[in-house]
Amino acid sequence: MEDLESLKQEKENQEPGEAGRPWEEIAASSQDPESALSEPLESEQWPETGPQPRSSLPQSPLSRSSTPLDDLTGPGASSPPSPPQEDSSTPSTLALAGQELATPWQSDKTTVNVNPKAGTPRSHHLEQSSDKGESTAPQTCQSEGNTFQQSQQTKRLLYGPEDMSDNNSEQKELRFNVFQEEDSNSNYDLDHAEPGVSEVAPSLLEIAIQSAKAYLLKTSSKSGLNLYDHLSDMLTKVLDERPENAVDIIESISQDVKMAHFRKKLDTLQNENEMLPIYEIAEKQKALFLHGNLEGADQELEDEIAENSLPNVMESAFYFEQAGVGLGTDETYRVFLALKQLTDTHPIQRCRFWGKILGLEMNYIVAEVEFREGEDEEDIEDEDVTEERDDGDSEADENDEEELPRTFYKTPQPIPKEESRTGANKYVYFVCNEPGGPWVKLPSVTPAQIVIARKIKKFFTGHLETPIVSYPPFPGNESNYLRAQIARISAGTHVSPLGFYQFGEEEGEEEEEVEGRRDSFEENPDFEGIQVIDLVESLSNWVHHVQHILSQGRCNWFNPTQKSEEEEEEEDEEKEEEKGEEPDYMEQEVGPPLLTPISEDLDIQNIPPWTTRRSSNLIPQYAIAVLRSNLWPGAYAFSNGKKFENFYIGWGHKYSPDNYTPPALPPVYQEYPSGAEITEMDDPSVEEEQAFKAIQEKAAALPVEEMEETEEDEDEEDYDQE
Amino acid sequence: MDAESLLLSLELASGSGQGLSPDRRASLLTSLTLVKRDYRYDRVLFWGRILGLVADYYIAQGLSEDQLAPRKTLYSLNCMEWSLLPPATEDMLLQTSVVKGRFMGDPSHEYEHTELQKMSEGEKVFEEEVVVQIKEETRLVSVIDQIDKAVAVIPRGALFKTPFGPIHVNRTFEGLSLSEAKKLSSYFHFREPVELKNKTLLEKADLDPSLDFMDSLEHDIPKGSWSIQMERGNALVVLRSLLWPGLTFFHAPRTKSYGSIYVGTGEKNIDLPFML
């Protein structure tokens, strides 16, 4: 707006001067608005440069020159602002236009002289028209031509650099100028004496027109054009070419003008191709689809093993689909390929699609894996690291000053985690966020993590590194929590039809057999299948084949007192006192043994823990038995009598009809009972001291030895009391 | 999800594991068409499934011309025979709020609830234990109503308000753009606005009255009661309600396909603040 106003002011300043000029000058200035866009250039220069040539030149009839000028300057003037991309070329054309426009009032002949220069860089018709002019010009104004050309050159020197520097700001000004001029144009035509009436007091109408023009000038985000320039280009073209029946072919003219914009981009900045996530994931998953072909041909040996370890995901997905659970066909197939990738790249003996755990930002696809013998050393390294860390802590504590009493509190003995391949760490779990993404191995689970995980309820975020902020504090980040939940869900919901697995006889003897509990099982080669109807009707036909996790956090009982017996007896006693409250201290905690029927599972407040269903009531002969866990919503199992599979999909939380309640705070440690050791005697009173003195004096009379003995006794007493 | 595009919608929503078995799908496609004809609904939505201990409830909803008008809810146990549920009332909500636990899957099952009621005999006022029987059907109605009011979702622009008041499906809806699809503010509660009236003029200034006539999700309490995920690259947005776990809303950006389905136990997750 400031630009606008200043421009207006400039104009107003000019106008009084113009009014005083001869008629011809006014006529000349009245043409300027039409040629329009170079106006500010001129208006600034006029006072200095204008008068000079004019005074030197003879006045010529301008009425004649006006019509060709319209044609000539019109296109030149309107073209520069229209394409903003043309930056590099605009300054020169602007300057040229300025020169061109400076000329008209001088004479017919001078315009002729200028035009060839101005026209050359531009479109064809200009040259043509200028050629026409040229043919007539040279004879008539040879004499003046020389003088004018000189002034022309000086002008160019003057204008050139300014134009270049002001280019940007001027382009804007120019646009606004155009409006005003068009407005005022009509005024000029009607009444030359009052050119600036509409500009002095901006009316509502003018504002409306301006806003309408501003709308027309809105640059399209697609083509970079605006309607105003387009219309003016079209009109220019029409006026240039003067076709018959222009109104009929206006559409094609419009098209031609648009086509004329078809030009090279001069932008040096290149648009970097956006990497949309959809392409990224497609690129990753492409690797899945290609992988099989490449690897399969090369190593037959590897493949044999891999094929054995790879589960038939599609088959079980088909059965789960009958049950109304699953990921959808193509998603399942992608998971299938991702599992293949996993088995191809790791020494895996057995692999299974465990399920999917939903997260807030991303989900986890979980694969359950058993390594081949002796190929999972990574676990051991992990353990060492954690143990070392624990030692470091305890050592630091011991280095405290010795004089002050040290803390009696000892952290309850950490229950060691189970060896890999046993108990809750029987399987290794890999997770990935999306099929095609990298598989990440989850750390093995510790009993402490399971114990704490039982007390908290948290959503997964989808990032394994997220810290778990909870009460009680969870030892580890989200990967540990995920692993703990997987262990809990597996232990609770992995079931198989009765008889499918049996205890391995040889291995059972090797293991520590406590009360008939055995840890291992093997597939029953003589399994003949169970009728589906039996599986549906009786829960006792389903058995757990994953070990129950004790409240200790382990599958196999670890006696925390064993070690302490070796240590000093006193400490043992203390511990007994501390732990006496816990009922599971003395007795070994026992859970249901392996291959226990699920009919013996505990109820959840009158809610049965399992729901069985037949997948189809319409075609019972081909239906399968579907088992749904009510304790872990999202856990399913199916069996068609011979085959079975377990699957979990959900948030990874246990169901409880009641609200989650944070665990109670630990009991406040009781203060030391106020006894003889705490209370002190009153200060000895004067009488006592006097009495003591009297005794001392008596004693002084006695032999010295006796006195010493009594003093020692007193000292000892004091010491004991402390 | 629209009953007509059920198969596509199910495929899109399958990321949460909520599916239907082939025989259920086929029977739904058949029976919902008949429902639409018999009840003269403008649109029939497959609402979802409430998992019971013995059997599951399959829920469908019929919409009239005005999309926000009260909906008719139907339920079925076998996906073929549908029965109309009575509209939910305040009394029902109050009455069933005491019932906890899972649905049984038997509409005539009666929950027993003992409560203390003040009895007055003459001048004496004493409390007496009264056993209240609540039918599961009532509970079903109120739970569906609660879920609808709390977490039914629709993308911005999918519906528009006509100058005469009724709300129609927007035929020119071309889906949300990618950047919009990631924001909670471009999704609305599919219900009569509640919060909107309480907004200040300043907040309302930018709203388009023909599109923004419902409450957006972004001000839901507690913050974080939605999980918004882009799946399959960016080809699919999935919103999961954490307040009513089981409700999944999906929308493929730049396409018309959107919908939501509830598969769950019909219990509200009141532990949400602990879990975030």
Distance to chain B for A325, nearest Cα, Å: 5
User: Does A607 sit within 8 Å of B101, measured CB to CB?
Assistant: yes
Give the mean pLDDT of A162-187. 45
pLDDT surpassing 80 at residue B257: yes
Contact A327 B230 (CB under 8 A): no
pLDDT at A513: 40
Is B190 a residue whose pLDDT tops 60? yes
- Taking the CA of residue B109 and the nearest CA in chain A, the distance in Å comes to 14
Report d(CA B41, CA B72) in Å as an integer.
9
Residue B255 forms contact with A (CB below 8 Å)? no
Query: Nearest Cβ partner of B17 from A356, A618, A628?
Result: A356
ipTM of the complex: 0.88
- For the segment B185-189, the average pLDDT, to the nearest whole number, is 87
Give yes or no for residue A525 having a pLDDT over 90.
no
Q: Do B19 and A611 touch (CB under 8 A)?
A: no
pLDDT at A254: 83
Q: Once rounded to an integer, what is the mean pLDDT over residues A399-413?
A: 72
- Cβ-based neighbours of B29, under 8 Å, separated by 6 or more: B3, B6, B7
Task: Please report the residues numbered 492 through 551 in chain A whose beta carbons come closer than 8 angstroms to any beta carbon of chain B.
Answer: none
CA of B40, closest CA in chain A: separation in Å? 29
Tokens describing residue A375 = 């190929």
Residue A283 pLDDT exceeds 80: no
Asked whether the predicted pLDDT for residue A271 surpasses 90, the reply is no
> Is the Cβ pair A611, B53 closer than 8 Å?
yes
What DSSP string describes B3-23? STTHHHHHHHHGGGTB---HH
Instruction: Please give the mean pLDDT across all residues of chain A.
Output: 67
Q: For residue B100, which residues of chain A lie inside 8 Å, CB to CB?
A: 657-658
CB-based contact A659 B271, cutoff 8 Å: yes
Estimate to the nearest angstrom the gap between the alpha carbon of A648 and the chain centroid: 27
Q: Is B179 on the interface with A (CB under 8 A)?
A: no
Tell whether B240 lies on the interface with A, counting CB pairs under 8 A.
yes
pLDDT above 90: residue A431: yes
pTM: 0.66
Residue A531 confidence (pLDDT) above 80: yes
Chain A interface disruption, residue of B23, B56, B261, most A CBs within 10 A = B23
Of B14, B22, B240, the CB nearest to A331: B14
Q: Between these two residues, A105 and B104, which has the higher pLDDT value?
A: B104
Tell if the CB–CB gap between A658 and B100 is shorter than 8 Å: yes
The predicted structure's pLDDT at residue A429 = 92
Distance from CA of B84 to the nearest CA of A (A): 24
**Residue found by looking up tokens 């007493």 in the block:** A717
Q: Which tops the pLDDT comparison, A598 or A376?
A: A598
The C-alpha of A128 sits at a distance from chain B's nearest C-alpha, in angstroms, of 51
pLDDT of residue A257: 80
In this structure, are residues A535 and A641 in contact, taking their beta carbons and an 8 Å threshold?
Answer: yes
**pLDDT above 50 for A396:** no
Among A110-124, A175-189, A687-701, name the most confident range.
A687-701
Confidence of residue A648 (pLDDT cuts 50, 70, 90): very high
* pLDDT of A98: 44
Report the range of poorest mean pLDDT among A322-336, A589-603, A647-661, B236-250. Answer: A589-603
Determine the 3-state secondary structure of A352 from DSSP: strand
Distance from CA of A542 to the nearest CA of B (A): 18
For residue B267, the chain A residue with the least C-alpha distance is A657
pLDDT of residue A60: 44
- pLDDT, residue A128, reads 45
Interface membership of A360 toward B (CB under 8 Å): yes
In the prediction, which pLDDT does A203 show? 83
Rg (CA), chain B: 20
Lowest mean pLDDT among A10-19, A115-124, A215-224, A529-538: A115-124
> Which residue in A has a C-alpha nearest to residue B104's C-alpha?
A607
Predicted pLDDT at A695: 92
- Chain A from 608 to 627: CB within 8 A of any B CB: 608, 611, 615-619
| CA-to-CA separations, A673 to A124, A408, A670, A677, A682, in angstroms, rounded | 110, 15, 8, 9, 20
C-beta of residue A624 within 8 angstroms of C-beta of residue A640: yes
Which pLDDT value is given to residue A357?
Answer: 92
Task: Check if B165 contacts A (Cβ < 8 Å).
Answer: no
- Within 8 A of B227 by CB-CB distance, chain A residues are 358-361, 459
The one-character DSSP state at A191 is -
Give yes or no for residue B213 having a pLDDT over 70: yes
- For residues A92 and A163, give the distance between their C-alpha atoms in angstroms, rounded to a whole number: 8
Q: Which residue of A has its CA nearest to B229?
A: A361
Distance to chain B for A567, nearest Cα, Å: 42
Distances (CA, A) of A687 to A684, A701, A713: 8, 21, 22
d(C-alpha A291, C-alpha B145), whole Å: 50
Q: Which residue in B53, B56, B133, B127 sits closest to B98, CA to CA?
A: B133
Q: Are strands A348-357 and A644-650 parallel, antiparallel or unpaired?
A: parallel
First to last CA, chain B: 28
pLDDT in tens, B109-143: 888 877 777 777 767 777 777 888 888 888 899 99
What angle do helix axes A90-102 and A142-190 make, rounded to 10 degrees?
90
